[in-house]
Amino acid sequence: MNIQLSEHFNYRKLGQFTLPTITMMIVTSLYSVIDGIFVSNVLGSEAFASVNLIFPFPMMLGAVGFMIGTGGSALVSMTLGEGKERKANEYFSMLIAFVSVVGVILTVGGIAVIRPVSVLLGAEGELLEGCVVYGTVLMLGLVPFILQGAFASFLVTAERPKLGLKISIAAGITNMALDYLFIYVFRWGLPGAAAATVIGQMVGGVIPLVFFFCKNGSPLRLVRFRFEWTPIVKSCVNGSSEMLTNLSMSLLNMLYNLQLMKLVGENGVSAYGIIMYVSFIFTGTYLGYSLGIAPVIGYHYGAANKKELQSLLRKSLFLIATVAIGLTALSEVLAGSLAGIFVSYDAELMEMTTVAIQIYSLSYLISGFNIFGSAFFTALNNGPVSALISFVRTLFFQIVMILVLPALFGLNGVWFAVVAAEALTLVVTVVCFLVNRKKYQYF
Q: HEC string of 164-214?
A: HHHHHHHHHHHHHHHHHHHHHHCCCHHHHHHHHHHHHHHHHHHHHHHHHHC
**CA distances to 3, 5, 157, 295 from 8, in Å:** 10, 8, 16, 13
Instruction: Check pLDDT > 90 for residue 404.
Output: yes
pLDDT above 80 for 130: yes
CA 366: distance to chain centroid? 17
Alpha carbon distance 291, 157 (integer Å): 10
Average the pLDDT over 287-315 and give the result.
Answer: 90
pLDDT of residue 276: 85
pLDDT band at 391 (very low <50, low <70, confident <90, very high): confident
Q: How far apart are CA 21 and CA 355, in angstroms?
A: 31
CB 69 within 8 A of CB 154: yes
Residue 285: C-alpha distances to residues 20, 26, 295, 321 (Å): 11, 7, 17, 12
* Tens-place pLDDT, residues 18-40: 988 888 788 777 766 777 888 88
- The per-residue pLDDT for 94 is 97
Q: How far apart are the C-alpha atoms of 220 and 93, rounded to whole Å?
A: 9
Residue 103: predicted pLDDT: 97
Judged against a pLDDT cut of 70, whether residue 74 lies above it is answered with yes
107 versus 256: the higher-pLDDT residue is 107
Cβ atoms within 10 Å, residue 215: 6
pLDDT, averaged across the chain: 90
Is residue 1 scored above 80 in pLDDT? no
Ranked by mean pLDDT, the top range of 314-323, 335-344, 345-354 is 314-323
- Burial of 188 per CB tally in 10 Å (0-12, 13-18, 19+): middle
Measured between alpha carbons, how far is residue 190 from residues 115, 228, 427 in Å? 16, 42, 42
**Domain spans in the chain, listed from the N-terminal domain onward:** 11-440
Query: CA-CA distances (angstroms) from residue 61 to 66, 114, 139, 149, 202?
Result: 10, 12, 9, 12, 16
Q: How far apart are CA 192 and CA 107, in angstroms?
A: 19
Q: Are 28 and 219 in contact (CB under 8 A)?
A: no
What are the Cα distances from residue 199, in Å, to 252, 334, 401? 27, 31, 37
CA distance 360 to 291: 24
Does the structure show a pLDDT above 80 at 271?
yes
- Which comes out higher in pLDDT, residue 146 or 176? 146
pLDDT (mean) for 354-374: 95
> 240-269 pLDDT, tens per residue?
766 777 777 778 888 888 888 788 877 888
For residues 106 and 250, is the Cβ–Cβ distance under 8 A?
no
Residue 111: band (very low, low, confident or very high) from pLDDT cuts 50, 70, 90: very high
Task: Give the confidence band of 215 by pLDDT, cuts at 50, 70, 90.
Answer: confident
Q: pLDDT at position 281, please?
A: 84
pTM: 0.75
Q: What Å distances lie between residue 288 and 36, 133, 372, 410, 439, CA to CA? A: 22, 31, 10, 34, 27
Q: What's the rounded mean pLDDT across residues 391-397?
A: 89
Res 31: pLDDT: 67
Percentage with pLDDT > 70 across the chain: 98
Mean of pLDDT values over 141-168? 91
Stretch 332-354: mean pLDDT: 90
Three-state DSSP state, 103 = helix
